[in-house]
Amino acid sequence: MTTYEVAQTTPSSPRPSDDRSIGELIGDLTRETTQLVRQEINLAKTEMTVKAVKVGKDIGLIAAGGILAFAGALTLVAFLVLALIRLGLAPWLSALLVGAVLAGIGGALAMSGLAKLKEVDPVPHQAVEALKS
């Protein structure tokens, strides 16, 4: 678990509690509450900054992995075309067959994704209900 440090300030002149009036006590309470809220906000900012940096690095790794995986997939496509040529098909026919199969699979995946996306209800029903009550 990561801990974060936030600068804390101390009251400027602590007075004995028995010498303070109700107004001074309420003023102190207000000041200390404001200070506490500011410290909590600073802690949240610090924590979110650290998390954002980590997420940024992780996204970079995902992007690099995706690029390498795509390059590998393209190499496998070239392999399929060359394998079909080696089996005796004309080069143009090998490329056409591999391209048609991949386009068909890609189209089917895209259509499936679109159909599932249309089923998603974008309205946040729980939040709407909470606001109504």
- Residue range 60-117, pLDDT digits in tens: 999 999 999 999 999 999 999 999 999 999 999 999 999 999 999 999 999 999 999 9
For residue 52, give every residue at least 6 positions away whose Cβ sits within 8 Å of its Cβ, in sequence order, or none: none
| Structural domain includes residue 22 | yes
Domain membership of residue 4 (yes or no) is no
Give a yes or no: residue 3 inside a domain.
Answer: no
CA distance 83 to 80: 5
The answer to the question of residue 93 being in a domain is yes
Which range of residues forms the domain containing residue 118? 17-132
Contact 77, 98 (CB under 8 A): yes
pLDDT tens for 27-57 read 999 999 999 999 999 898 999 999 999 999 9
More confident residue, 4 or 27: 27
- Cα distances (Å, whole numbers) of residue 63 to 66, 118, 126, 133: 5, 28, 34, 44
**What is the reported pLDDT for 126?**
81
Inside any domain, residue 10: no
Task: Give dist(CA 127, CA 67) in Å, integer.
Answer: 38
* Residue spans of alpha helices (H) in the chain: 22-86, 91-119, 125-132
Domain count, the chain: 1
Neighbours of 114 (CB within 10 A): 9
pTM: 0.55
* DSSP category for residue 17: G
Q: How far apart are CA 104 and CA 110, in angstroms?
A: 10
Is 47 a domain residue?
yes
Would 21 be classed as within a structural domain? yes
- Does residue 9 fall inside a structural domain? no
